[in-house]
Amino acid sequence: MIDLRSDTVTLPPKEMKDYMMQSALGDDVYGEDPSINLLQEKTADLFKKEDALFVSSGTMANLISVLTHCNRGDEILLGDKSHIFYYEAGGVSAFGGIHSHQLKNKEDGTIEINEIKNNIRKDGDDHFPKTKLLCLENTHNYCYGSPIDKNYFKEVHKLLKTQKIKLHIDGARIFNASIALKTSVADLTSSADSISCCLSKGLSAPIGSLIVGKKDFILKAKKIRKALGGGMRQAGIIASAGLYSFNNMIDRLEEDHEIAQILANKLHEVENLNIELDLVKTNIIFIHLNNTKLSDKDFLLQLNQNNIKIDYKGNRKFRLVTHYGFQKNQIDTVVSTIANILKG
Mapping DSSP to helix (H, G, I), strand (E, B) and coil, where does residue 246 land?
helix
Question: Across all residues in the chain, what is the average pLDDT?
Answer: 96
Could you give the percent of the chain with pLDDT greater than 90? 97
Least confident of 8-17, 36-45, 175-184, 283-292: 283-292
List Cβ neighbours of 199 (8 Å cut-off, separation of 6 or more).
205, 207, 208, 209, 210, 241, 242, 245
pLDDT digits (tens, 9 = 90+) for 160-215: 999 999 999 999 999 999 999 999 999 999 999 999 999 999 999 999 999 999 99
Report the alpha-carbon distance of residue 305 to residue 317 in Å, rounded.
19
Beta strands per DSSP E along the chain: 2-3, 51-55, 75-79, 99-103, 131-137, 166-171, 194-198, 209-213, 273-274, 284-289, 308-309, 311-314, 317-321
**Is 344 a residue whose pLDDT tops 80?**
no
List, as one string, the DSSP characters of 88-145.
Answer: STTHHHHHH--EEEEEPPPTTS---HHHHHHTSPPTT-TTSPPEEEEEEESSBTTTTT
pTM of the model: 0.96
Domains parsed from the chain with CATH numbers: 11-248 (3.40.640.10), 252-343 (3.90.1150.10)
